[in-house]
Structure 1
Amino acid sequence: MKAAPAAQQELLRLQALDTRLAQLAHRLNALPQTAPLAELATRDDAVRRSRAEAVGVLEDAKTELGRIESDVRIVEARIARDGERLTQTSSLKDVQALEGELVSLKRRLSDLEDQELVVMEKVEGAEGAVAAIDDERAAIAVAQQSLEAERDEASAGIATEREQTDRDRAVVAATIPADLLAFYEQRRVRGGGVGAALLRQRTCGGCTITLTGSDLEAVRRAAPDDVVQCPECDRILVRTDESGI
């Protein structure tokens, strides 16, 4: 591939901007708030699942309490009805039957009221568990909001610099011939983010290998507008007065 030496040297400017963009992306991903926020998100997911289970327990307890309360109302109504019938009958047989039924109903009512107290305590405990979980989620939300505010403040400066660097890159890229730019991008993908490197004192700035022997001679023989590559890392080698060849 052929490209004017000036165009090749522009690759160094482009590479510097790409390196800076990679650094900014790393800084953004490595903000001190990122890991704690991820941990809080994991905790919040776990707490949400716990809340769903606790709400299920509470709803079951309330359903059980509702059933017992319904049974209590039914038994109380029957006691009231039998009590009224008892005052209205003069039949000894009916009186004995009603009194026997009332004894049974009152025993049943007592059992139901005991059950009601137990289940009411269960409901109260389940409500307390849900409330405690809600308090924990609220505390997590407060911590998240605080960390997000810190992260947003820290990332704002990075985002501003990244936007400016993107604009600068676009300006530089526009000065580079399309075929050379495409070749650089290909090398950059394969080279872990580095597509072009300065050859300084016969040393590749990409992989730090020093050219010797036939490799050095091949670079020396290359025309100024030849696009040469490092024999070790395959990145574009940009030659300048510092190259020592």
Structure 2
Amino acid sequence: MKAEPAAQRRLLDLAEVDTELARVLHRRTTMPELAEIAAAEQAVRAKADARVAVQTQLDDLDREVARQEKEIDAVRARTDRDRAMMQSGKLGAKALTDVEHELGTLQRRQSVLEDDLLELMERREAVEMDAQHASVELAKAEEALAGATARRDENLKDLDTQQARRDAERATIVPGLPEGLLALYERKRASRGTGAALLRARHCGACRLEIDRRELSRIKETAADEVVEHEECGAILVRTAESGL
């Protein structure tokens, strides 16, 4: 393929821009904040699950406390009723004995229920502390996630600016290149990563290898408007005064 030396040299400008665009893309996909966000999101999910679990325990205890208090109220109401009956003076001896016996049973039952309620309240207090701790831990995890996300977004904004600038530069370079030369460059870039590089001091700017004497002689004898490719890495070699030919 033939192309004017000036057009070939413009490939170096394009390659430089594309290298910067590749770096921008690499930074987009490898910035530390991405891994930090993934870890923070996992932590938030775990902390949220932990809070839900402890809140479920607290809700269960609240229902149990309410049930226990309702049962105690029922026993107290029954006790008050029996005492009112005893004080009415309308009970016979046997009925009075029965009511006295029931009152004793109710008092023992109330004592057991109140002990159970106290135990439930102590358990609830402990679980409530766990719930508060779980909420604090979740808030910390959410704050860490928000911080990492903000740093990522700031980095992305900077990368967007860099990419926009490089895209604009590329848009000014591409129209000045011959269609065939540009197509060859793009194929090389797609398959090799680097489409064109400077031949400097007998070294390929793409793969950094020193070019052997045989190939160097071949390149030296090739016309200036002939497009040269490195036999080793396949990149287009752009010749300038720095090439050492």
TM-score of the aligned structures, taking structure 1 as reference length: 0.83
Alignment match, 1:71: 71
SS in 1 for 2:177: coil
Please give the per-residue CA displacement for 1:155-207, whole angstroms capped at 9, x wherever unaligned: 5444323321121122212323344333323322332x322111123211111
**Greater CA drift, 174-183 or 56-65:** 174-183
SS in 2 for 1:106: helix
Q: Does 1:101 align with 2:105?
A: no
Contact 2:188–2:195 (CA<8 Å) still a contact in 1?
Answer: yes
Between the aligned partners of 2:179 and 2:127, the Cα distance in structure 1 is 68
Alignment match, 1:117: 118
Q: 1:76 to 1:184 in 2, by over 3 A?
A: farther
Note the C-alpha offset of 1:75: 2.1
Q: 1:9 to 1:113 in 2, by over 3 A?
A: same
Contact 2:230–2:236 (CA<8 Å) still a contact in 1?
Answer: yes
Q: Percent identity?
A: 37
**Greater CA drift, 16-25 or 154-163:** 154-163
Note the C-alpha offset of 1:225: 3.6
What are structure 1's unaligned runs of at least 5 residues?
Answer: none
Note the C-alpha offset of 1:28: 5.5
**Greater CA drift, 228-237 or 132-141:** 132-141
Between the aligned partners of 2:239 and 2:207, the Cα distance in structure 1 is 15
Q: 1:136 to 1:212 in 2, by over 3 A?
A: same
Between the aligned partners of 1:77 and 1:59, the Cα distance in structure 2 is 27
Between the aligned partners of 1:176 and 1:67, the Cα distance in structure 2 is 84
What are structure 2's unaligned runs of at least 5 residues?
Answer: none
Structure 1 segment 74-223 matched on structure 2, within 5 A: 74-88=74-88, 89-146=90-147, 148-149=149-150, 152-153=153-154, 156-191=157-192, 193-223=193-223
Q: Does 1:14 align with 2:18?
A: no
The amino acid that maps onto 2:165 is Q
Between the aligned partners of 1:223 and 1:82, the Cα distance in structure 2 is 120
The amino acid that maps onto 1:97 is D
The amino acid that maps onto 2:102 is E
**Greater CA drift, 21-30 or 86-95:** 21-30
Between the aligned partners of 1:26 and 1:237, the Cα distance in structure 2 is 25
Alignment match, 1:229: 229
**Greater CA drift, 33-42 or 85-94:** 33-42
Structure 1 segment 42-81 matched on structure 2, within 5 A: 42-81=42-81
SS in 2 for 1:209: coil
